[in-house]
Amino acid sequence: MLDIRQFRENPDHIRERLATRGEEFAAKVDDVVRLDSERREANTAVEELKAKRNAASKEIGALMGQKKLDEAEAKKAEVRDIGDQISELDAKAGQVDTKLRDILLRLPNLPHADVPVGATEEDNTEISQWGEKPAFDFEPKPHTEICESLGLVDFARGAKLSGSGFLLYSGWGARLERALIQYLLDMHVHEHGYTEVSPPFMVGYDCMIGVGQFPKFEDQAYMVQEGLDEESRGKLYLIPTAEAPVANIHREEILKNEELPKYYCAYSPCFRAEAGAAGVGTRGMIRVHQFDKVELIKVVEPEGSYDELQKMLGNAEKILQSLNLHYRILQLCTADMSFGSATTYDIEVWAPGQGDYLEVSSCSNCEDYQSRRMNLRYKDADGKNRHPHILNGSGTALARLFVALIETYQQPDGSIAIPEPLQSYLRTDRIPASE
RNA sequence: GGAGAGAUGGCUGAGUGGUCGAAAGCGCUCCCCUGCUAAGGGAGUAUAGGUUAACGCCUAUCGAGGGUUCGAAUCCCUCUCUCUCCGCCA
């Protein structure tokens, strides 16, 4: 959520920055400014009336104490009238407030000044590349073929169980997935200093609001119902990312500044309805309704949050480097960034069988956008309450990492070589060509 | 799922309709006093919003939301969470 004070002090700046993400957002600025002043006006009026009522009520109390009952009764009649005015004005103020809040919750974060302005993903800029595309002396197969021939993923039965977009990992495939999860967590915990957490895989509405998923993207979430109780529907949602629970860990808290920074990492499955998204219906592991991911979350003081973002990006890169997978880093343009982000870097890993780069990580600094939505604060060195910056990054998404790994390390004989760091996790240096 | 108890400021804990935003204690901060040792005295110590040049003033908040009332921490309703016991269960 954007700071309402900024709208009062510098609406032009907000309008200009929002316009880089879409004119429809910039168009809301005037509404916000107008509603804010309406709200304050109504509020002031209500508060004045309340002050009057409180004072009069105290007088009544005093009169009652002195047994001056007639005077007290007269006063009561007078105050009752004030009460009616208050409820009327209060209701009006409440309506304005709801309207204002609704608009604010649907406005995205302001992009950082350094973010390239763009209209589509075509306008993202490549920052760097690491490694090289591996050379093959045979035609590299796509992961779907490899998975089928080695029995790593049973696409047909996954679909039989839950529909398209659901995967049944099996045998070496299931073991590789588990090995990767373990490997990623261990690296972030032991080498990068993150605290591992294992969060609930369902969260309440407020958590989804807090990270900016809701209200705008409610159509993309899986809503849960308890048994046949329709009343319970909407109390919980399957998490689209571990960011939803983990970034909310300290929601509505006031942290001490010495408690910062907080570094969390978490494994979780991620559930995405992907309503209307391209590629959901197609076979394979690139876009699915459920995938595993190891997520990194940081809660830090605003000063230095961009250094923390670079470090986080480096932590995610380290995974790919250690597995010797070629990748590139993109900085997303204003239009392609997620809702709450002020700056986002995507890491795309090379998948030879696809002949394409796959997004496996997205590292964002949301600045105080989320902490404001979730009312998370910390006391700074001067004892003032401030909103910390919240960063999130995938470290990394699993299904696509799985794809890149098996497509990169496929051998002419159909087996898959296992990179050295994973060998102890998988207890082999090679997934054999056939069982 | 059933029965019961509870939720008050950083913590402990009073407070059942009228200067209660809230006693007391602990903790913490500052000041004073004292130089023989975890001593004593005093002051301060929630959050948000509005208003003011500022001191300040006003409003809201005693788990959350609603209601009764001139007035609610206190009465009523709904919800959430915690604890105890029983049942069921991975």
Give the CA-to-C1' distance from A231 to B78 in angstroms.
14
The predicted pLDDT at position A386 comes to: 87
Give the CA-to-C1' distance from A151 to B25 in angstroms.
69
Strands, sheet with A377-379, edge to edge from the N-terminal-most edge strand: A254-256, A377-379, A385-386
**Residue in this structure with the two tokens 């209307």, named with its chain if needed:** A276
Question: Poorest-confidence range of A305-314, A347-356, A378-387?
Answer: A378-387
Nearest nucleotide to A81, CA against C1' atoms: B70
**pLDDT band at residue A171 under the 50/70/90 scheme:** very high
Mean pLDDT score of chain A: 91
Nearest nucleotide to A56, CA against C1' atoms: B70
**pLDDT band at residue A331 under the 50/70/90 scheme:** very high
3-state secondary structure A191-246: HCCCEEECCCCEECHHHHHHCCCCCCCHHHCCEECECCEHHHCCCEEECCCCHHHH
* Distance of alpha carbon A177 from the chain centroid: 23
Nearest nucleotide to A47, CA against C1' atoms: B59
Nearest nucleotide to A50, CA against C1' atoms: B59
Give the CA-to-C1' distance from A74 to B70 in angstroms.
10
**pLDDT band at residue A397 under the 50/70/90 scheme:** very high
Nearest nucleotide to A46, CA against C1' atoms: B59
Give the CA-to-C1' distance from A381 to B38 in angstroms.
29
Q: What percent of chain A has pLDDT over 70?
A: 99
Q: What percent of chain A has pLDDT over 90?
A: 64
**pLDDT band at residue A279 under the 50/70/90 scheme:** low
Query: Is pLDDT at A435 greater than 70 in this prediction?
Result: no
* Residue of A154, A146, A148 whose CA lies nearest to A170: A154
Higher pLDDT among residues A384 and A249, named by residue: A249
Nearest nucleotide to A43, CA against C1' atoms: B50
The predicted pLDDT at position A364 comes to: 97
**pLDDT band at residue A366 under the 50/70/90 scheme:** very high
Give the CA-to-C1' distance from A335 to B24 in angstroms.
59
Q: What is the mean pLDDT of residues A363-387?
A: 88
Give the CA-to-C1' distance from A85 to B18 in angstroms.
22
Give the CA-to-C1' distance from A357 to B88 in angstroms.
51
Contacts of A139 (CB under 8 A, 6+ apart): none
Give the CA-to-C1' distance from A126 to B34 in angstroms.
71
**pLDDT band at residue A281 under the 50/70/90 scheme:** low
Higher pLDDT among residues A147 and A274, named by residue: A147
3-state secondary structure A26-89: HCCHHHHHHHHHHHHHHHHHHHHHHHHHHHHHHHHHHHHHCCCHHHHHHHHHHHHHHHHHHHHH
Protein-covered nucleotides on strand B (Cβ within 7 A): 18-19, 47-51, 58-60, 69-71
Higher pLDDT among residues A248 and A256, named by residue: A248
Structure-token pair, residue A102: 């609704």
Give the CA-to-C1' distance from A48 to B47 in angstroms.
21
Nearest nucleotide to A79, CA against C1' atoms: B70
Residues with CB under 7 A from strand B: A 4, 40, 43-44, 46-48, 50-51, 53-58, 60-61, 64, 76, 79-80, 83, 254, 377, 385
